[in-house]
Amino acid sequence: MPGSGDGSPGAPGEAADSGNRPFIVAIDGPAGAGKSTAARRLAARLGFALVDTGAIYRAVALAASRAGIAFDDDRRLAILLPGLRIRFEAPPLDQAAAGQKTILGDEDVSLEIREPPMSLGASAVSARPVVRAALLDLQRRLAAAPSHPGSVLEGRDIGTVVFPDADVKVFLTASPEVRARRRYDELVAKGQTVSVEQVLADQQKRDRDDSQRAVAPLRPAPDAFLLDTSDLCADAVVDALATAVEVRLEQRGRPV
Ligand code: DC
């Protein structure tokens, strides 16, 4: 489990002191750019913790939906957030390929948060400043896992807001068609019935909302390394990211 915190969102804090915290790799980019696969495999290769911040927003959307709270009801979201416990748990060794689990309270919600309504719900709650502020400190605490030499965080605003002083910042992207096809293949592999057209339409709405929102819009940090993954296989993406990390570790005089 990548985290030392108790898993509940706290008040927004200052960015962690880069001298005292683990090595941070920030991977941002739109849905379907290949962030999840790249982040998971990079974290495994480096022995780093993995913090999937989209899963955190998804868990908030699920909790709100179960409580009958509208995704734009700031007053009720503000009451809900402090009571939520969200954390990640490593899978059993024989299920390592399944990736880590997202736990809300004591319940494994990994599958439910991936369903299309929660994709749109996560995008909606993530536009609310009250939600972003409450989750900032949780994301930083999960990344400060003392059990790991570093953390890989994937999201939309890691390099711009959560860790503006991250050691390595990467912005992954890919053409809209490639991204929609990847998400479609993922959903079909999970047994969901969707059409590519629907996935593309949902993605276009999310892209628009995520990049036009007033707070922490999706955009590359000025010092991020941009990587278009449209024509790259997952291995090539992970190799490129691992090289960027190794270069930075060497610059900092830390062993790879
Ligand atoms: O990466 P994902 O598809 O699981 O993210 C779900 C939604 O959460 C996405 O529409 C944008 C939002 N999000 C965000 O605003 N900031 C993050 N750091 C991560 C996700």
Domain ranges of the chain: 23-248
- pLDDT digits 0-9 by tens, 70-100: 999 999 999 999 999 999 998 777 776 678 9
Question: How far, in Å, CA of 184 to CA of 190, rounded?
Answer: 10
Q: Residue 141 is encoded by which pair of tokens?
A: 């605490």
162 backbone dihedrals φ, ψ, rounded to 5°? -70, -50
Quickly list DSSP for 43-82. Answer: HHHHT-EEEEHHHHHHHHHHHHHHTT--TT-HHHHHHHGG
Average pLDDT of the chain to the nearest whole number:
88
- Evaluate if pTM is beyond 0.85: yes
Residue nearest ligand 1's atom 4 by CA: 54
pLDDT band at 112 (very low <50, low <70, confident <90, very high): very high
- pLDDT digits 0-9 by tens, 149-189: 899 999 999 999 999 999 999 999 999 999 999 989 988 98
Residue nearest ligand 1's atom 9 by CA: 123
Give yes or no for residue 221 having a pLDDT over 60: yes
132 within ligand 1 shell (Cβ under 6 A): no
Ligand 1 atom nearest the C-alpha of 158 is: 18
- Mean of the pLDDT values across residues 103-122? 94
Question: How far, in Å, CA of 241 to CA of 42, rounded?
Answer: 7
203 within ligand 1 shell (Cβ under 6 A): no
| Other C-beta atoms lying within 10 Å of the C-beta of residue 19 | 5
- Best residue among 156, 190, 202 to mutate for probing ligand 1, ranked by most atoms within 8 Å of CB: 156
| 99 closest CA partner among 190, 208, 178, 221 | 190
Read off the amino acid at residue 153. Answer: L
- Mean of the pLDDT values across residues 189-203? 90
Question: How far, in Å, CA of 178 to CA of 6, rounded?
Answer: 38
Query: Quick check: helix, strand or coil at residue 1?
Result: coil
Architecture of domain 23-248: 3-Layer(aba) Sandwich (3.40)
Q: Would you tell me the crossing angle of helices 116-125 and 53-66 to the nearest 10 degrees?
A: 100
For residue 9, the number of C-alpha atoms closer than 13 Å in the C-beta half-sphere is 22
pLDDT of residue 11: 40
Query: Contact at 8 Å (CB) between 220 and 159?
Result: yes
Ligand 1 atom nearest the C-alpha of 36 is: 1
95 CA to centre of ligand 1 in angstroms: 25
Minimum mean pLDDT range among 95-104, 110-119, 122-131: 95-104
Residues 6+ apart with CB under 8 A from 187: 114, 116, 194, 199
pLDDT band at 40 (very low <50, low <70, confident <90, very high): very high
pLDDT of residue 32: 87
Give yes or no for residue 15 having a pLDDT over 50: no
| Other C-beta atoms lying within 10 Å of the C-beta of residue 18 | 14
| 46 closest CA partner among 246, 190, 196 | 246
pLDDT of residue 118: 95
| 30 closest CA partner among 159, 154, 186 | 154
58 within ligand 1 shell (Cβ under 6 A): yes
| 35 closest CA partner among 182, 252, 162 | 182
pLDDT band at 255 (very low <50, low <70, confident <90, very high): low
Query: Contact at 8 Å (CB) between 71 and 118?
Result: no
171 backbone dihedrals φ, ψ, rounded to 5°? -115, 110
pLDDT of residue 8: 59
pLDDT band at 217 (very low <50, low <70, confident <90, very high): confident
Percentage of the chain beyond pLDDT 90 is 68
